[in-house]
Structure 1
């Protein structure tokens, strides 16, 4: 329905809607509004998610953060492997010198040079490992965003299913079990007569022609 049609409908005769249906629609609207608002203003996420207006942008944000973290890890691993290979090469070189002439190797400073080089390389490797660890900081922020988006979709679906069950047309009600038509229960665990999972939601929608 276009906006012009909605405007004409609003100016025309009001639709007769069951109060319970109106209440459910209002609840869904409030749920969606409040959840999306929380996604934008939660203190811990305010800085990290500034400028992300909706769930789609937030999922893009998560993908970007994950990709950046993966790139940082791969780069740090490559650099650490390079430093490790340099240490291995220097070790082989020193071993050859010590085998050929131990006294000369020590006198020439080769041993001390090796020690100094290894110390510097290990410090760099340690920094790379620290970078890898720090790259994992995205988990906390993206995890919170994911949970909020998932909870939003779950709550929205649950509310829509409840509304759908309440407004099933008389000629369609026989297609749905009477237990389901009674509406969701607070504790569905262990019950076989209520909508509990995605497959049952799919079955309910299919039985109603959706």
Structure 2
């Protein structure tokens, strides 16, 4: 890019570019915009971030942490259900013994054995519940990464829209209002001359044929 072209960009002036380049940039911007809309992601999230050099590895980290937490929860639930079933069976057995011969049931130690077994089983269930609770810590870790990835996506969309506005071919600039040609801004509050939300980005892309 020539120094004169850089100066034009800095001054907010349009550039003469190959129509194919304009088409490619517009297509990419439309794809990103539609993806964000489908995911329900708002473009102006107020999240402090240093940027993501490797978004793919961050998303892989989220998937791994989520899968590990899900497996831990499922395993704990399965074990807790087994303990619960054992308690139910032991209760039925003791009830049958007490009904048949209460004195013998007590004398044989069946009642004390039942009490001991219940104490052990309930301790196991308590541990399973604790494990399930601790498995939820992935929300804090993955939530931070998700915010950074979302912020990166939002910043990328803003940059692409701004670039698209700068390279609109002269014959198409008349299709777009001067307000829209200002492009998106970070703080649109109180301004009516800028692209401020997803709807206006969509209108911009549609007006340019994307």
Find the counterpart in structure 2 of residue 111 from structure 1: 111
Q: 1:14 to 1:97 in 2, by over 3 A?
A: closer
| CA distance in 2 between partners of 1:111 and 1:49 (Å) | 61
Q: Which moved more, 1:72-81 or 1:164-173?
A: 164-173
Q: CA 1:71/1:112 → structure 2, altered by over 3 Å: closer, same or farther? A: same
SS at match of 1:66: helix
Matched residue SS, 1:46: coil
Q: 1:166: how far off?
A: 3.3
Native 8 Å contact 2:76 2:132 kept in 1: yes
User: How far does residue 157 in structure 1 lie from its aligned partner after superposition?
Assistant: 1.0
How far does residue 202 in structure 1 lie from its aligned partner after superposition? 3.1
Equivalent-residue separation in structure 2 for 1:8 and 1:162 (angstroms):
13
Where does structure 1 differ by over 6 angstroms across 4 or more consecutive aligned residues?
A: 1-53
Deviates most, 192-201 or 84-93:
192-201
Which has the higher mean CA deviation after the structures are superposed, 39-48 or 140-149? 39-48
Q: Which moved more, 1:114-123 or 1:32-41?
A: 32-41
After TM superposition, the score normalised by the length of structure 1 is: 0.70
Q: Deviations over 1:153-204 (max 9, x none)?
A: 1012112212322343322111112211133355435877642333432332
Give the C-alpha shift of residue 16 in structure 1. Answer: 9.9
CA gap 1:20/1:118 in 2 versus in 1, 3 angstroms? same
Greater shift, 113-122 or 13-22, is seen at: 13-22
| Distance across 1 between alignment mates of 2:33 and 2:127 | 44
TM-score by length of 2: 0.70
RCO greater where, 1 or 2, for CA within 8 Å and sep 6 or more? 2
Contact kept? 1:94, 1:114, Cα under 8 Å = yes
Segments of structure 1 that go 5 or more residues without pairing to the other structure are none
Q: Distance in 2 between matches of 1:45 and 1:76?
A: 36
